[in-house]
């Protein structure tokens, strides 16, 4: 009975992965087989918690309370019967994952509910440390390759990917949740106001601002690419694929035909390019 319940819990998490579009591969077949399910479970936890934060029809305080309850379930994880927590309890135990990293994700999702603006880049980086970097650190732990160097590279990659995701979703974040993930200090430097987001103004000021943002994220992503060789085998290959995908998105964001609010997506041709770069750039 226990094995059947656990199997169904894993299948539930895998279905969540299949049901959500992501520009970057999640738990793909390129990964070592023994890591696909744990990564799917981690994604399912993060995805469902993120969805709680973004349920706009529910009052903010209620959403925060739901995330607090998620944290309580995390602290008493073996007592809960929800499929995600059944699978997550098994993954944490099997791979000795730090539970605090999951709490960091929940803290970031709570911030999403209450914090809509970021004064400067250091403030935005702190958010990324909670919202994105835990995922990279969990992957390093799953690969049993924990070192200061690996963590540093993982943080750089994950922060960069988070920033790139912001730049893809400029319009969606503002129109749906009134969020701007561009530092106010830098908006002021480039003479960009909130009206640019409200009216979808993609003038030279806005384009110059986004060129600066994209270049910084791209440089950060490249600075962490050594992790794709530190982690060997299929995991390293998967990571090189993700980095190549991030760089392709940066290219599409830059070549936007004058519209910084257009949302680029990766296609099959891009997938072949990612494969080539992952194979050649070891």
pLDDT in tens, the chain (282 residues): 457 899 999 999 999 988 875 544 444 555 778 888 999 999 999 999 998 888 767 898 999 999 999 999 999 987 778 899 999 999 999 999 999 999 999 999 999 999 999 999 999 999 999 999 999 999 999 988 889 999 999 999 999 999 999 999 999 999 988 999 999 999 999 999 999 999 999 999 999 999 999 999 999 999 999 998 888 888 888 889 899 999 999 999 999 888 999 998 887 787 777 787 677 665
DSSP codes, 119-168: SSHHHHHHHHHHHTHHHHHHHHHHTT---HHHHHHHHHHHHHHHHHHHHH
Nearest one of 145, 143, 62, 132 to 104, comparing CA atoms: 132
Per-domain boundaries in the chain = 1-114, 116-282
State both tokens at 179.
Answer: 């969020």
Do the domains 116-282 and 1-114 match in fold? yes
Report the alpha-carbon distance of residue 114 to residue 58 in Å, rounded: 13
Residue keyed to tokens 């963590």: 151
CATH of domain 1-114: 1.10.600.10
Query: Of 158, 203, 160, 210, nearest to 182 (Cα)?
Result: 210
Contact of 53 with 67, CB cutoff 8 Å:
yes
Other beta carbons within 10 Å of 275? 15
Which of 276, 247, 258 lies closest to 200 in space, CA to CA? Answer: 258
Provide the whole-model pTM: 0.89
Architecture of domain 116-282: Orthogonal Bundle (1.10)
């Amino acid at each position: 009975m226990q094995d059947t319940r656990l199997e169904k819990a894993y299948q539930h998490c895998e279905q969540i992965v299949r049901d959500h579009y992501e520009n970057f591969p999640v738990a793909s077949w390129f990964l070592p087989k023994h890591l696909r399910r744990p990564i799917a479970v981690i994604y399912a936890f993060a995805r469902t918690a993120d969805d709680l934060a973004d349920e706009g029809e529910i009052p903010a305080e209620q959403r925060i309370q739901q995330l607090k309850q998620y944290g309580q379930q995390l602290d008493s994880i073996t007592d809960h019967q929800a499929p995600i927590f059944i699978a997550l309890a098994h993954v944490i135990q099997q791979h000795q994952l730090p539970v605090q990293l999951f709490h960091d994700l929940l803290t970031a999702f709570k911030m999403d509910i209450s914090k809509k603006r970021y004064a400067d880049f250091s403030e935005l980086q702190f958010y990324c440390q909670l919202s994105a970097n835990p995922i990279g650190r969990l992957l390093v732990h799953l690969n049993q390759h924990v070192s200061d160097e690996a963590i540093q590279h993982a943080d750089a990659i994950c922060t960069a990917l988070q920033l790139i995701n912001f730049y893809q979703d400029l319009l969606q974040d503002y129109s749906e949740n009134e969020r701007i993930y561009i530092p106010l200090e830098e908006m002021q430097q480039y003479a960009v106001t909130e009206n640019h987001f409200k009216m979808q103004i993609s003038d030279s000021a806005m384009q110059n601002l986004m060129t600066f943002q994209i270049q910084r994220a791209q440089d950060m992503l490249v600075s962490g690419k050594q992790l794709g060789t530190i982690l060997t085998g299929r995991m390293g290959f998967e990571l090189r694929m993700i980095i190549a995908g991030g760089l392709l998105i940066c290219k599409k964001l830059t070549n936007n035909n004058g519209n910084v609010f257009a949302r680029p997506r990766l296609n099959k041709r891009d997938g072949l390019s990612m494969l080539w770069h992952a194979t050649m750039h070891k």
